Structure 1
Amino acid sequence: MQEVFITGSGSFLPGAPVGNREMESRIGLLGEHSRKLKALTLRQNGIRTRHYAIDADGNYRFTNAQMAARAVEAACDSARRDPAQLQYLACSTTQADLLVPGIASSVHGELGGTPLGGTPLEISSHQSVCGSSMMAIKSAWLNIRAGEHRVAAASGSEFSSRWFQPDFYRALDFSSMDMDEALQYEFLRWTLSDGAGALVLEDEPDPDRPCLKIDWIEQKSFADRFPTCMYAGAFGSGPEDSRPWSHYGSPGAAYERGAIILRQDFDLLEQMFPVWMGYFLEVLDKHNLSPRDIRYFLPHYSARSLGERMKTLLTRSAAMIPEERWRNHQREVGNVGSASVFLLIDRLLREEKLQRGDRILCFVPESGRCLASFMGLTVV
């Protein structure tokens, strides 16, 4: 099997950073609890700035696909490749711009329409939540590993802020909700942000600068154990409320029922942590890894408080990676969903003094219906 290397990385974060005081001008307020829940959420997630693809006047400045294409172009530039040299493109997102076709078709179209030009290539689209990022990377990795292609790109992109406009929530009466009920809607509004990241993968490293060899990628779904936790497209996750939006007879009927809104069940989320940590230990054992072997740990988590929960469980399991080896920049960019691990890797390559042989562990848990992904990298 062919070895595979990350030779380039790129990020695209739309517009200037948006501070906590400016957020309301972009996504508005839903009800009397909004400001209290905003303050509570920001204390929990620790985010100070984020990026939105909607400006203060309500203008949509980019599409999801346009952000992904710009990140792919940046990754190609980093890898010293023209996008026209790509042979395979794997794209991930939580929700594409269109219902049909997939996100990769739209991103490929954006790449082909640039002054840099484009070329026909093989594509794959991956739609989940945060974990779709690793699905895309693994797809590109396996294609090169099998000898199908020599140069590939993988991307993750999100346009979450469009979900959070007040008109999306008109079917709900927030005045009748208590704080706990409202939090399932408000937490995501004050946590998720927009942007894209991408990687270029090749069958040979660049001899003139550090590259990352992909040693392995592991992913498991535990959806057989859990109902949906973070979701949109149904009114609820129980048997009576989980009817898909497309079964309401019309999109308007689904909207009036509140089946389009993005929400999260925090009781379920708490139950997923032991499952994720159990899988974490399984992966360490499978690859004969000790926490002291890992030079850089790139964990994705949706809030600072959840990162602290992760540290507590790892410490109890004697699997805690020294905290000074953790790298996470959610405070500056927010939770960018499927783009997050791409942004973390891009920042690592740009800012750290990587040494040959350094081992890197990436961890992406997903609360959608409970899955987790890991990737092992070595600096070459």
Structure 2
Amino acid sequence: MPVPSAPVAILGTGSYVPDRVVSNTEVGTPAGVDDAWIVRKTAIRERRWAEPGQATSDLATGAARRALQSAGITADQLSTIVVATSTPDHKQPATAVFVHQNLGGATPGVSAFDVNAVCAGFSFALDVAHGIIAKSGGYGLVIGADLYSQILDPADKKTVILFGDGAGAAVIGPGDADRRIRTTAFHMYSEMSDLVVVPAGGSRQPYDPQAHDAGLQYFSMEGRTVRDFIINTVPGLVKQFLHDCEVLPADITHVVPHQANGVMLDDLWSKLDLPGATLHRTVSEFGNVGSASVPLTLDRAARSGALRRGDRVLMLGMGGGFAVSLTLIDW
């Protein structure tokens, strides 16, 4: 694995969720399921949904401001803004452009752009920004933000019960040998690209009245197949990743995974064999918030005081495509 030219560390984190709390009863009734069924299948008890008029960039900006405050820097010190999202404000320009605009003090010399690896996107964005900051210096703002409530079919119990809206962010900048983002590994299983999709709205199938009538504007997922793949594949990827990093499983202090489904997380955790680690969860309170899952959960762990200097943090991203990301951090 390549070694960056200069150590880069996470200097501060932030997160933001809408005020509106959505219960299992509210999402379950149109889908024909109740609170007990949703909790048994997912361990999710509630989620947050955006109000009309709120966009992904609004959530991203809220998380960004808190991350900047946590890091003790101001927007005019940023040199890079990268937003991971699969629910952008518009097809163009990038959602990061609106975050740059909303922050006000950010300078014109900032590079601002989006990446999309669905729920694994935050680690992709972090790795890109890491490379830029390691080479050129300065500070980077990395955000995972998604607003899924607008693309869910209210009658689809496989999806509408799972997803919430939210954003998480991290400021990265100069680190040292003991405090740094060590490395990230990516895996892409493109033969599974049809398992997590929004069929209409792109160049392959433009959004039109026929697509609307067929419900092709909605998010769709083959949840059982995705779950089986994750349980059977990710533990081996983690084992190999730690071996390549020359880190023992017992040396991992914290695991921050994508919050896809609480029951699935329990199954995955039982197979990871990380005896000294704490698994961090936010899925019960916020559901699956897409590319925001990992940074939102990381921020919650950091603000709780659970993450201490010198801890080793493993972040696991899993998202449509099908993408898997693994990031090792010396906190």
Task: Compute the TM-score of the two structures, normalised by the length of structure 2.
Answer: 0.90
User: Partner of 2:98 in structure 1?
Assistant: 106
Residue type of the alignment partner of 2:280: R
The whole-number CA distance in structure 1 between the counterparts of 2:257 and 2:244 is: 19
Question: What does residue range 190-339 of structure 1 map to in structure 2 within 5 Å?
Answer: 190-204=161-175, 212-223=179-190, 225-233=191-199, 246-248=203-205, 251-273=208-230, 274-314=232-272, 320-322=273-275, 325-339=278-292
Bigger radius of gyration, 1 or 2? 1
The whole-number CA distance in structure 1 between the counterparts of 2:147 and 2:114 is: 16
Match of 2:50 among 50, 53, 56: 53
Question: What does residue range 333-352 of structure 1 map to in structure 2 within 5 Å?
Answer: 333-352=286-305
Deviation at 1:18, TM superposition (A): 3.3
Deviation at 1:202, TM superposition (A): 0.6
Larger strand fraction of residues: 2
Deviation at 1:374, TM superposition (A): 0.9
The whole-number CA distance in structure 1 between the counterparts of 2:102 and 2:306 is: 34
Residue type of the alignment partner of 2:197: Y
The whole-number CA distance in structure 2 between the counterparts of 1:260 and 1:230 is: 13
Task: Compute the TM-score of the two structures, normalised by the length of structure 1.
Answer: 0.79
User: Partner of 2:152 in structure 1?
Assistant: 164
The whole-number CA distance in structure 2 between the counterparts of 1:323 and 1:253 is: 53
The whole-number CA distance in structure 1 between the counterparts of 2:79 and 2:202 is: 36
User: Partner of 1:11 in structure 2?
Assistant: 15
1:52-96 superposed Cα distances (whole Å, 9 cap, x missing partner)? 112xxxxx1521101101111111111111112111000011210
The runs of 5 or more residues in structure 2 that have no matched partner are: none
The whole-number CA distance in structure 1 between the counterparts of 2:224 and 2:149 is: 24
1:176-210 superposed Cα distances (whole Å, 9 cap, x missing partner)? xxxxxxxxx322211110111110001147xxxxx
SS at match of 1:188: coil
1:214-258 superposed Cα distances (whole Å, 9 cap, x missing partner)? 1111111111x4242111025xxxxxxxxx754456522222233
The runs of 5 or more residues in structure 1 that have no matched partner are: 55-59, 167-173, 175-184, 206-210, 235-243, 315-319
User: Partner of 2:321 in structure 1?
Assistant: 369
Classify 1:361/1:324 alpha carbon distance in 2 versus 1 (closer, same or farther; 3 Å). closer
C-alpha contact (below 8 Å) 2:120/2:258 kept by paired residues: no
1:43 and 2:40 correspond: yes
SS at match of 2:107: coil
Classify 1:196/1:266 alpha carbon distance in 2 versus 1 (closer, same or farther; 3 Å). closer
SS at match of 2:157: helix
C-alpha contact (below 8 Å) 1:245/1:260 kept by paired residues: no
The whole-number CA distance in structure 1 between the counterparts of 2:166 and 2:278 is: 25
Residue type of the alignment partner of 1:197: G
The whole-number CA distance in structure 2 between the counterparts of 1:248 and 1:339 is: 27
The whole-number CA distance in structure 2 between the counterparts of 1:165 and 1:276 is: 29
C-alpha contact (below 8 Å) 1:38/1:187 kept by paired residues: no
C-alpha contact (below 8 Å) 1:245/1:251 kept by paired residues: no
Q: Which has the larger displacement, 349-358 or 87-96?
A: 349-358
Match of 2:119 among 130, 135, 146: 130
C-alpha contact (below 8 Å) 2:158/2:223 kept by paired residues: no
The whole-number CA distance in structure 2 between the counterparts of 1:249 and 1:70 is: 32
C-alpha contact (below 8 Å) 2:83/2:96 kept by paired residues: yes
Q: Percent identity?
A: 25
Deviation at 1:276, TM superposition (A): 2.3
Classify 1:378/1:21 alpha carbon distance in 2 versus 1 (closer, same or farther; 3 Å). same
Residue type of the alignment partner of 2:123: M
User: Partner of 2:160 in structure 1?
Assistant: 189
SS at match of 2:295: helix
User: Partner of 1:169 in structure 2?
Assistant: none
Give the number of equivalent residue pairs: 324
